[in-house]
Amino acid sequence: MGEQRKYSPRTKAAAGKLSDEYGHLQPQAPDIEKVVLGALMIEKDAYSLVSEILRPESFYEQRNQLVYQAIVSLALASEPIDMLTVSEKLGSMGVLEEAGGKLYIMELTSGVASSAHIEYHAHIIAQKHLARELITFASNIESKAFDETNDIDEVMNEAEGRLFELAQQNTKKDYTQINPVINEAYEMLRIAAARTEGLSGLASGFHELDKITSGWQKSDLIIIAARPAMGKTAFVLSMAKNIAVNARDPVAMFSLEMSNVQLVNRMIVNVCEIPGDKIKSGQLAPYEWQQLDTKIRNLYDAPLYIDDTPQLSVFELRTKARRLVREHGVKVIFIDYLQLMNASGMSYGNRQEEVSTISRSLKGLAKELNIPIIALSQLNRGVENREGNEGKRPQLSDLRESGAIEQDADIVCFIHRPEYYKIYDDGQGNDMHGIAEIIIAKHRNGAVGNVKLRFRSEFARFQNRDDDFVVPAPGIEGPTMRSKINRTPVPTSGYNDIPPINDNPFAPSSQNIDVPF
């Protein structure tokens, strides 16, 4: 016979303290659950008041879950909900006795007189359920964090994903009477009318595109899709330069494909108009050193924020985006590109389901932050198998991995460069050398159409077709192409402490050197 353990008064007190501290009951409200179920069976319209608040699993007691499931089934079938029909439904489901039998159903209805306060009571039940879910979630994550065989980054991703799911379940937005919405819409219209360019959204810097979209609108999810080598990254970098460098509006760019240094190098190529191969090799002519030193100053202090986290999850993006908007007032977010993102921490049957979750989450984030989110997307290979200029033009069905991208996006644009496919004529006698088409294939709140831009491959830049003009270059035979961007005065204040980019003794001293292209 084992020795019986004896407790001293001090030991008993300690045990009582542990019991008080850790001996918690699961959050529950069984009496309120009964009141709500009873009210649902005596008031024919009561279900409509709680249908968006409660689910069967919201109830703590198993028998109450079964009763509510029967009520939901009757409501969906547009059948009456009362004591008799609920009992019959439970019987047909084969769970009447498990749900407490007819006696328990009678007890539920006899305990209430009306459905007054049913919404308030339903919210209490929902909150108790959410508290239980959080407890289970925290316990599960704690166990995995203690297990040293688990990768802590995977545990973090799982925690973030599950917490996101719980937050989504608890996020409900109530209806709004139309008057305040009319006032908000009228104020937006008044602000748009006051703008000289007549845009209601954020200007992309591409005039023809802005005419169709009226600028990128707040809360919109915009998808820019194209096949590889069409210039997706160059397009968003050109927009980021127009917005952050020229207009000085804060921009955030999440690059899952390129490092921040690679992106900045491409931005230098874009702004300084020096070919990318020369930037890589450092073999610049004297006038190019001077051009670099002069124009790169436009990039300093630009409100452009770059995040090059690889394998970024949509939940990490959500956290970082909120901070960027809160701390830096970011007006637009670029993502390069959507298919490289993941939604780790949640389970999916296939990749299509995961991409659907990502696109849906991005649309939700755009609405939450009230800014446009522009995400790049790949197209499938179907484009390559079609013949001719028209055949090579992308279609909505070419979007890769998920039809949900098309469904969730407010605007879907395709980039098409006929020149890439050795098509130099559009069939109407127009030269397509150096021309890119931006095809607006879906526009939820406006017109669709095509916009032609000039693509400068040597500078990885898209620009308006009228941005180039010809001027004679002093000392150089033949014309020189010069961008309107070059004529923008370079700010002189605030750069006294910027070190020179190079110490090249051959860099010319003139500030007005034209660049031959």
Q: Where is pLDDT greater, at 20 or 432?
A: 432
Element (H, E) at 411: strand 411-416
Cβ atoms of 35 and 121 within 8 Å: the answer is: yes
Q: What is the mean pLDDT of residues 165-170?
A: 68
Residues 6 or more apart in contact with residue 181 via CB below 8 angstroms: none
Angle, helix 101-110 to helix 30-42, in steps of 10 degrees: 90
Q: Closest Cα partner for 118 from 33, 202, 224, 3?
A: 33
pLDDT band at 45 (very low <50, low <70, confident <90, very high): confident
- Is the overall model pTM greater than 0.75, yes or no? no
- Does the structure show a pLDDT above 90 at 156? no
| Cβ 397 vs Cβ 414: under 8 Å | no
Residue 196: predicted pLDDT: 63
Question: Is the pLDDT confidence value at 85 over 70?
Answer: yes
For residue 400, what pLDDT band results from cuts at 50, 70 and 90? low
Cis peptide upstream of residue 287 (ω within 30 degrees of 0): no
The pLDDT, as a whole number, for residue 20 is 44
Question: Which whole-number Å values give the CA distances from 49 to 53, 354, 421, in the listed order?
Answer: 8, 33, 59
For tokens 């915009």, the residue is: 222
Average pLDDT over residues 319-323: 85
Its CATH architecture, for the domain 200-487, is 3-Layer(aba) Sandwich (3.40)
Residues above pLDDT 90, as percent of the chain:
10
Q: Is 140 exposed, middle or buried (0-12, 13-18, 19+ CB in 10 A)?
A: middle
From CA 349, how far away is CA 346, in angstroms rounded?
10
DSSP characters over 342-357: B-TTS--SSHHHHHHH
pLDDT at 77 over 70: yes
Q: Rounded to 10 degrees, what is the CA torsion of 375, 376, 382, 387?
A: 120
List the domain boundaries for the chain. Answer: 30-150, 200-487
Q: Number of helices (H) and strands (E), helices first, in the chain?
A: 18, 11
Report pLDDT for 449. Answer: 87
| Cα dihedral value 46, 49, 51, 56, nearest 10 | -60
Query: Which amino acid is it at 359?
Result: S
Q: Which residue did the predictor score with more confidence, 499 or 171?
A: 171
**Cβ(209)–Cβ(451) below 8 Å:** yes
Which H helix or E strand runs over 452? strand 449-456
Instruction: Please give the pLDDT value at position 169.
Output: 65
Q: SS3 string of 388-407?
A: HHHHHCCCHHHECCCCHHHH
Write the single-letter amino acid at 325: V
pLDDT at residue 90, rounded to an integer: 92
Pairing assessment for the beta strands 304-307 and 449-456 based on DSSP bridges: unpaired
Q: Which of 175-184, 353-362, 378-387, 504-513 has the highest mean pLDDT?
A: 353-362
Q: How high does pLDDT run on average in the chain?
A: 77
Distance CA 212, CA 399 (A): 22
Distance CA(217)–CA(70), nearest Å, equals 45
Q: Per DSSP, what are the bridge partners of residue 379?
A: 399
Q: Tell which CATH classification among 1.10.1200.10, 3.40.50.620, 3.10.20.30, 1.10.860.10 matches the domain 30-150.
A: 1.10.860.10
Alpha carbons 474 and 479: distance in angstroms, whole number: 10
Asked whether residue 333 carries a pLDDT value surpassing 90, the answer given is yes
Confidence (pLDDT) at 63: 92
pLDDT of 59 > 90? The answer is yes
Active site residues: 257
Ranges 129-143, 169-183, 287-301, 332-346: which has the least confidence: 169-183
Query: How does pLDDT run across 190-231, given as a tens digit for each residue?
Result: 776 776 666 778 888 888 888 888 889 888 999 998 888 888
Query: Is the per-residue pLDDT at 271 higher than 90?
Result: no
Residue type, 407: Q
Max mean pLDDT range (59-68, 405-414, 458-467)? 59-68
Could you tell me which residues come within 8 angstroms of residue 184 by beta carbon, excluding any fewer than 6 positions away? Answer: none
Q: What is the pLDDT of residues 407-442, one digit of tens each?
A: 888 999 998 888 887 887 777 777 788 888 889 988
- Is residue 332's pLDDT more than 90? yes
CB 88 within 8 A of CB 111: no
- What mean pLDDT is predicted for residues 39-60? 86
Q: What is the 3-state secondary structure (H, E, C) of 474-500?
A: CCCCCEEEEEHHHHCCCCCCCCCCCCC
Most confidently predicted of 149-163, 398-412, 442-456: 442-456
372 or 266, which is more confident: 372
Angle at 57 between CA 106 and CA 77, to 5 degrees: 65
Nearest to 131 by CA among 174, 169, 173, 157: 169
Q: Of 272 and 193, which is predicted with more confidence?
A: 272
Model confidence band, residue 10 (pLDDT cutoffs 50, 70, 90): very low
Task: Kindly tell me if the per-residue pLDDT of 372 is higher than 90.
Answer: yes
